Structure 1
Amino acid sequence: MSEKKVGLVEGFKAFLMRGNVIDLAVAVVIGAAFTQVVNSVVKGVINPLVGAFGTQNLDAYSSCLKGPCRTVNGTEEGIRIMWGSVLGATLSFLITAAVVYFLMVLPMARYLARKAARDAAKEGTKEVVELSELEVLKEIRDALVAQSRGGSAGTGPDSAPGSGKGFGGS
């Protein structure tokens, strides 16, 4: 029974120590802090700009769908549509999305594209180097085969550099 508990504890520890779980926890903490920044921008910048045309409190913008919207004896009459709240939430979302895209996603995409281009360039030069080394090795092989036959290197149809022929008839 103690083995099962150790196995569960070890399994839970392994789950927590996986990179994606820790990355997710960091993302949640940063996201919570980032939400406060966005809310401050909306309250400190967006709402005063909207307030230049009306009221600074976006929640105050509403329309009445049915009947007169008024409060009588603490009871709300009519059906009030709070479109100002929706507008405020939409602005918060758009600001958050723009900041995340322009400050995080776009730079990371550019970095990864440059890294992929560098890696592709390295692979291209590596293949060229490997091909030239292969050609040199073929020439050395052909020279050795020609020497072992008693002829000179580079003579005969089987010993042409890069032909791949001459040793074992390949």
Structure 2
Amino acid sequence: MSKMVQGFKDFIMRGNVVDLAVGIVIGAAFTAVVTAFTNGFIKPLIQLLGGGEGIGAGTWRVRGVRFDYATFINSIITFLITAAVLYFLVVMPLNMLAERRRRGEEPPPQTPSEDILLLTQIRDLLAQNATASGAQGSAVNDILHRREDPPR
């Protein structure tokens, strides 16, 4: 069970999953802003251009059934604005960055230095030895000059 929980934790803490979650939240918030803009400004313009007044503006009726074309056109405009902004502010800059990396103009992200890798290996070996000997943390405590007092 703990292996499954650890696997889930590793999956969630990956950068791509967290970035994706943040992107979805920001995208939803941005879509709400664009929808408010189009409902507040674009849809009334469509209704005015449709020549209607009051509740019937931006609609037509066939045998008493109301067709709201202004809402449909407004939804298309909302989609196009959202898609354009996401393309020009997110997709295009990331594609340009990836292209620069492929051409070698921008160095790839740095890997940890040798001393950090060596210290990480030492830490892992100390933890492994402590677990194998049954005295959990004793090697680390010895290095850090920590002493555990026996229970009284």
TM-score between the two structures when normalised by the length of structure 2? 0.55
> 107-116 vs 82-91, which deviates more?
107-116
Cα displacement (A) at 1:16? 1.3
- Provide the rounded CA distance (Å) in 2 between the counterparts of 1:87 and 1:11: 46
Alpha-carbon distance in structure 2 between the residues aligned to 1:82 and 1:40: 18
Paired amino acid for 1:39: T
Aligned to 1:107: 93
Corresponding residue number in structure 2 for 1:64: 61
What TM-score comes out, normalization by structure 1 length?
Answer: 0.50
1:55 offset after TM fit, Å?
Answer: 6.0
TM-superposed deviation, 1:90: 0.6
Distance 1:90 1:58 in 2: 21
**Structure 2 runs not aligned, ≥5 long:** 108-152
Deviations 1:41-74 (A, max 9, x none): 2134423543552469999422334x2x1xxxxx
Q: Which protein shows a greater Rg?
A: 1
Which consecutive residues of structure 1, in runs of 5 or more, have no partner in the other structure? Answer: 70-78, 123-170
Superposition CA RMSD, Å: 3.2
Is 2:20 aligned against 1:24?
A: yes
- The 10-residue stretch of structure 1 (99-108 or 89-98) with the greater mean CA deviation from structure 2: 99-108
Aligned runs of 1:5-84 on 2, under 5 Å? 5-50=1-46, 52-53=48-49, 54=51, 60-65=57-62, 67=63, 69=64, 79-84=65-70
Mark the CA change 1:100 to 1:59 in structure 2 (over 3 Å): closer, same or farther.
Answer: farther
Instruction: Give aligned pairs, total.
Output: 106
Greater share of strand residues, 1 or 2?
1
Amino acid paired to 1:101 = Y
Q: Percent identity?
A: 41
Q: Distance in 1 between matches of 2:45 and 2:57?
A: 15
